[in-house]
Amino acid sequence: MSRQPHPALINHWVTVPTDPEAVRSLASALNWPPAAASILVSRGITGVEEARAWIDPQRRHLLDPMRLPDMARAADRLWDAVANRERITVFGDYDVDGISSTALLCRLLRTLDADVRPFLPHRLDEGYGLSVEAFERCREETRPDLVVTVDCGTGSVAAVEAAQAIGIDVIITDHHESSGPVAPALAVVNPKLGNHEEDKLLAGVGVAFKLGHALLKTAHQRQSEPVAGEGGADPTRQLVAARKLLNQLLGLVALGTVADIVPLTGENRLVVRHGLDELNLNPWPWVSAMRQVAGIKDSIDTYEVGYLIGPRLNAAGRLGDAERSLALLLTDDSDEAARIARVLDEENRKRQDTEKDMVKTILDRRDPVFDPVTTHAVVEYGEGWHPGVAGIVASRLVARYHRPAIVMAVDPTTGIAKGSCRSIPGLNMVALLNTCSAHLTKHGGHQAAAGLELPAANLEAFSSAFSAAVAEVWSDDLSHPSQRIDAWLSLADCNEDLLHALDAMRPFGMGCPTPVFAVHGVEFAGSPREVGQGHLKCTFRQGSAMADGIGFGMFDREPPAPPFDIAFTLKWNHWGGRSKPDLHLADFRPGEA
């Protein structure tokens, strides 16, 4: 299965502009290589103090949670439920963001001696979010006085009305775009409904963390009130423990934020930076267990969360039931964590096999006929496909064809198609789906990713309508992928000083991408060779300077005649007790004359 774009696509290299004087000034002040300083300048950070604050974000700079819509009302009602020992159900979602949010609130509320239970909908039987079907099972199993949703619920009008009809209060916490009426809950804490742009970037677990923060602020203001715990628990002692725990729970915030691929800017950057520290310095049993099954030997960073831990936690929910993943995040027993992690690892292997089969089926059909001039969207559906891997498959299609992609699984028994959508930069998936909503039963999500459901009888009409909607807003600059180049340097510049500066800039991710460097006029020193399954292992030479490199999935690509240009990210290679820079190849092109 190729990891590379379709051969008909041309990767355009685009160098990010910078101010040379600002780069020199910042490099001198920070004692950094100019290539490192140029990364900050290109991302709008030019002042020395601003740079230092960005490099070392402080927890004291967390924004006031009370500025989120309905937050004060939500925190007041939740504290009432805690203090009065009402039955609280945290209603989550089956992806990593959802289970991280659920685990975070459950752990925090238990520290406050709350009567709290988690609940997750079943992906295949009940679908996403607070549906009427899922709420009915939730009511029967947990008998709540108060339901707090995390990572879902903004548009769940029918389920909230059903809850209200029988006297159950509902607090919604969510971060998804609203594509219709907002649920009439007691409180709807969704930054997308507010006025602060930075808050709108939060993941679901970020909003759940904000609710936890607001709850403790409210509790502090009302701490003279007794908590109805067994034996009369000391509220002051509980609050001290809860504040300490909330800081430790930043590890879960980092997990959900990275896995949900929201921008790592502003407050997201702060919580992920400190959350990663928590995962590495104060590991929970689930962290140690995941390290073991995923083979993580070095520090956990965004790559390990996004590509090694996240997929294993997602596997259970994708294939049906996410309860196992939630149990892993909630257990304090190391042996139990290790057992669950091994099961999740095996489920992830099954998920990978299912995904590979679906991708191969689609590429075998699409690749021979793909035309970048006439194809604006990729819409695929089939009976027997697993809806739980539709999002991953859609992501693979976006990487292959650089087109917005929708993948749907058709259930011949019910006549319903369910699927996931992924977009490309510059195209808002939710807006595109809104133009085709007449064909859909339901839809929702983000600019880059969404989900949908529709009658199978509507598939052809929807496919045509969606392709037409994309064509309507298409422009030539969207036709081919671009390769961002953050800085040009020499091969000799690819050294430990540059890598140490890059380490100080972490975390990297969506909205704050890993810097891509480029070098003119290199050649291979010796013959490239294949390692693993289709990976290119080589050594580059430029003058007297040499550097080792690897291109994942690139062995079958024909390199240009030397000397040629290379684009790459710079990584540490830790081996045999030594560390050195390695070039992870992103692209190559003919050298400029």
pLDDT of residue 9: 80
Residue 564 to residue 259: CA distance in whole angstroms:
36
Whether pLDDT at 51 is above 90? yes
Lowest mean pLDDT segment, chosen from 97-101, 367-371, 424-428, 479-483: 479-483
Residue 510 to residue 449: CA distance in whole angstroms:
13
Share of the chain above pLDDT 70, in %: 97
Q: CATH topology for 63-233?
A: inorganic pyrophosphatase (n-terminal core) (3.90.1640)
Residue 79 to residue 225: CA distance in whole angstroms:
10
SS3 (DSSP) at 64: coil
**355-380: average pLDDT:** 94
> Which one-letter DSSP state was computed for residue 469?
H
Q: CATH topology for 370-478?
A: Diaminopimelate Epimerase; Chain A, domain 1 (3.10.310)
Whether pLDDT at 254 is above 90? yes
Whether pLDDT at 225 is above 80? no
Tell me which residue of 538, 570, 573, 534 sits closest to 554, measured CA to CA: 534
> Which one-letter DSSP state was computed for residue 306?
I
Whether pLDDT at 319 is above 80? no
Q: Over the chain, what is the mean pLDDT?
A: 93
- Strand partners for 583: 549, 570
Tell me which residue of 356, 355, 353, 377 sits closest to 366, measured CA to CA: 377
Query: Is 383 in contact with 424 (CB distance < 8 Å)?
Result: no
Domain ranges of the chain: 12-56+482-590, 63-233, 370-478
pLDDT tens digit sequence for 54-80 = 999 999 999 999 999 999 999 999 999
Whether pLDDT at 229 is above 50? no
pLDDT tens digit sequence for 95-122 = 999 999 999 999 999 999 999 999 999 8
pLDDT tens digit sequence for 120-175 = 998 777 777 899 999 999 999 999 999 999 999 999 999 999 999 999 999 999 99
**Tokens representing 57?**
């974000």
Residue 152 to residue 171: CA distance in whole angstroms:
11
SS3 (DSSP) at 249: coil
Q: Which residue reads 């539709």 in tokens? A: 390
Helix and strand tally (H, E) in the chain? 21, 19
Task: State the Cα torsion 82-88-94-98 to the nearest 10°.
Answer: -20
CATH of domain 12-56+482-590: 2.40.50.460
* 0.75 exceeded by pTM: yes
Query: Is 523 in contact with 564 (CB distance < 8 Å)?
Result: yes
SS3 (DSSP) at 371: coil
Contacts 24+ apart (CB under 8 A), 192-197: 192/154, 193/69, 193/154, 194/67, 194/68, 194/69, 196/67, 196/68
Whether pLDDT at 471 is above 60? yes
pLDDT of residue 226: 52
Query: Is 460 in contact with 436 (CB distance < 8 Å)?
Result: no
pLDDT of residue 593: 54
pLDDT of residue 3: 60
Whether pLDDT at 401 is above 50? yes
Contacts 24+ apart (CB under 8 A), 473-478: 473/427, 473/432, 474/376, 477/426, 478/402, 478/424, 478/426, 478/427
Residue 356 to residue 287: CA distance in whole angstroms:
27
pLDDT of residue 316: 80
pLDDT of residue 438: 96
pLDDT of residue 2: 52
**326-352: average pLDDT:** 96
Query: Is 127 in contact with 320 (CB distance < 8 Å)?
Result: no
pLDDT of residue 230: 46
Query: Is 138 in contact with 111 (CB distance < 8 Å)?
Result: no
SS3 (DSSP) at 26: helix
